[in-house]
Amino acid sequence: MPNRALFENIDSVLVFSVFGTLWNTFAIGGSLLLMAQYDLFTMSFNTFEILVFSALISAVDPVAVIAVFEEIHVNEFLFINVFGEALFNDGVTVVLYQMFKSFALIGSENLSVLDYATGGLSFFVVALGGAAIGVIFAIAASLTTKYTYDVRILAPVFIFVLPYMAYLTAEMVSLSSIIAIAICGMLMKQYIKGNITQAAANSVKYFTKMLAQSSETVIFMFLGLSTISSQHHFDLIFICATLFFCLIYRAIGIVFQCYILNRFRAKKFEVVDQFIMSYGGLRGAIAYGLVVSIPASITAKPMFITATIAVIYFTVFLQGITIRPLVNCLKIKRKEERDPTMVESVYNKYLDYMMSGVEDIAGQKGHYTFIENFERFNAKVIKPVLMRHQKRQSFDASTIVRAYEKITLEDAIKLAKVKNTIQNKRIERIKSQNKVAQALSDKNSIQKTMTPKDLQLKKFMESGENIDSLYMLFSDLLDRKLHEMNTIPKKETEITDDIQDDYMAEVGSRSNLSAMFRSAEQLPSETAFQRGRRQSTGDVIDSTKRADFNV
């Protein structure tokens, strides 16, 4: 599963898996219950019994989705929305199934308002509790593989055992085991890879594929055997009604949800995407596993089993076989069969940071701001704790800021020199035309409008002194400050005296000027500026060269 694509589309995935499942459950259950009022079915059921069935039949099977959508290689946007919905939809389905099953066993006549409130609250408790268990066991797996690196044969064992323990633990405490193992797997993908060798990673990868294929084969083998071995009650009207409501209500839900999402998303769901998402709602192992576990006290259980198997056969075989020609006919964008290049990966990161800066400038906290904050927290706190080769790092931008200040000062000095040269040429041209008096009056008027700092800079520029040594002085001051910040421990560092903002006041002092002139005599004028240029990259000058610049 592409984790980045999942988090980029987490809004649509949660809408489809939570609200879509609730819509399908109550719409299918309500429609079948309405038909039962007219005695159209051969077996009777009450409200909560049919809601148990409608909850399990709303589950989109992720195994079937992966098998079909990976085979036809649909684009990542469409794949992650259908697969993400199927993955989290199963957790929501199990929560609804357990809640309605408990209501059916208690009996509608024995339920109180508190029971309904508790059932609604349990929906969130079961889902969030399963996610919490998944996080706990993912942390345990990461720490275990981090500190057992020398015993390499144990790493694959922990990778398989701990997620399964998360599943069993969630089942023991009646929480969502599917959400628990899904969250555990997503987090382990982020942090386990850095703690195991490449050989162990390959072993886990191929063993997982083999285990997944074997499990899928066993599940559908049981499904086929149950077709002829289980006790069935064939009701054609109930089967056709269930199949029709599954198809029509899923299509209505997808269209309505995509209409709402398209109003708030930059990446829109096109009409063909909505059709494939509606057509790709395949039922499979989850629905079958839940229907055979319905308590025997529900008298309509045989009819529910028969209808569920019929829906699974129709969606997996008919829809699964015909979805490839439909994708080709509708010209759905396919997935690129290549890995992103290094340049693409780097510029994707740059784009994330740039968009985060745009959101910050606009005063909004959006998707990219959340990604940047999480990555910063992940790099500083989570990865150093859970991964072997990661160390806690703190980013200090002071060196970059100082280097930028030095480069800015260099540009300002160059600009001042150019302006001074142009002004001197202009004065010479005016003198040659016998307009010295008018030029002097213009010069005096200009001086009246100039600020004291500009006058001081102009006076120094016209004095004919070595201007390169001015840059050397400022460069040395900045390098000294950087050296002090890097050598003094952080706890003892308190910047009380930084470089003055009024640079010309610093230059105006006699001591600074004398040190500057001594430096100019010791360094050739044609190389002083080039050496200062190299220092602007942040290199610290050797102490013997710096002694002449002490102020």
For the chain, what are the domain ranges?
3-330, 340-419
Helix count (H) and strand count (E) of the chain? 26, 0
Question: What is d(CA 100, CA 55) in angstroms, rounded to the nearest whole number?
Answer: 8
**Mean pLDDT of all residues in 435-441:** 53
**pLDDT for 372 beyond 70:** yes
Confidence band for 9, pLDDT divided at 50, 70 and 90: confident
Question: What is d(CA 303, CA 41) in angstroms, rounded to the nearest whole number?
Answer: 10
DSSP secondary structure letters along 322-379: HHHHHHHHHTPPBPPSSPPPHHHHHHHHHHHHHHHHHHHHTT---HHHHHHHHHHHII
Amino acid (1-letter code) at residue 355 = M
pLDDT of res. 137: 94
pLDDT of res. 496: 39
Amino acid (1-letter code) at residue 443 = K
Residue where the block lists tokens 């509608």? 108
**pLDDT for 32 beyond 90:** yes
**pLDDT for 511 beyond 90:** no
DSSP-derived secondary structure letter, 17: I
**Mean pLDDT of all residues in 342-350:** 78
Question: What is d(CA 32, CA 25) in angstroms, rounded to the nearest whole number?
Answer: 11
Question: What is d(CA 214, CA 232) in angstroms, rounded to the nearest whole number?
Answer: 27
Bridge partners of 74, per DSSP, are 334
- Cβ distance 129 to 170 under 8 Å? yes
Output the CA–CA distances (angstroms, integers) from residue 474 to 132, 230, 466, 526, in the order listed. 56, 89, 14, 18
- The two tokens of residue 246 are 């599954």
pLDDT digits (tens, 9 = 90+) for 451-487: 565 555 566 555 555 556 666 666 676 677 667 666 6
DSSP secondary structure letters along 232-285: ----HHHHHHHHHHHHHHHHHHHHHHHHHHHTT-SS---HHHHHHHHHT----H
Question: What is d(CA 378, CA 393) in angstroms, rounded to the nearest whole number?
Answer: 11
**pLDDT for 438 beyond 60:** no
Output the CA–CA distances (angstroms, integers) from residue 81 to 69, 85, 258, 485, in the order listed. 11, 6, 11, 50
pLDDT of res. 497: 41
- Cβ distance 103 to 111 under 8 Å? yes
Rounded to a whole number, what is the largest CA-CA distance in the chain? 119
Amino acid (1-letter code) at residue 129 = G
pLDDT digits (tens, 9 = 90+) for 188-243: 888 888 788 888 888 888 888 888 888 878 887 887 887 777 678 888 999 999 99
Question: What is d(CA 504, CA 297) in angstroms, rounded to the nearest whole number?
Answer: 93
Domain 3-330: CATH architecture, name and number where available: Up-down Bundle (1.20)
Q: Taking each helix axis from N to C terminus, what angle separates 198-229 and 155-172, rounded to the nearest 10 degrees?
A: 40
pLDDT of res. 166: 93
**First and final C-alpha spacing in the chain:** 61
149-163, 353-367, 526-540: segment of lowest average pLDDT: 526-540
**pLDDT for 539 beyond 80:** no
**pLDDT for 547 beyond 60:** no
Residue where the block lists tokens 């016998």? 434
Question: What is d(CA 541, CA 546) in angstroms, rounded to the nearest whole number?
Answer: 6
Q: Which of 15, 215, 175 is nearest to 95 (CA)?
A: 175
Output the CA–CA distances (angstroms, integers) from residue 96 to 2, 122, 442, in the order listed. 28, 9, 88
- Using DSSP's 3-state secondary structure scheme, residue 407 falls into helix
- Cβ distance 476 to 506 under 8 Å? no
Length, in residues, of the chain: 551
**Mean pLDDT of all residues in 353-365:** 79
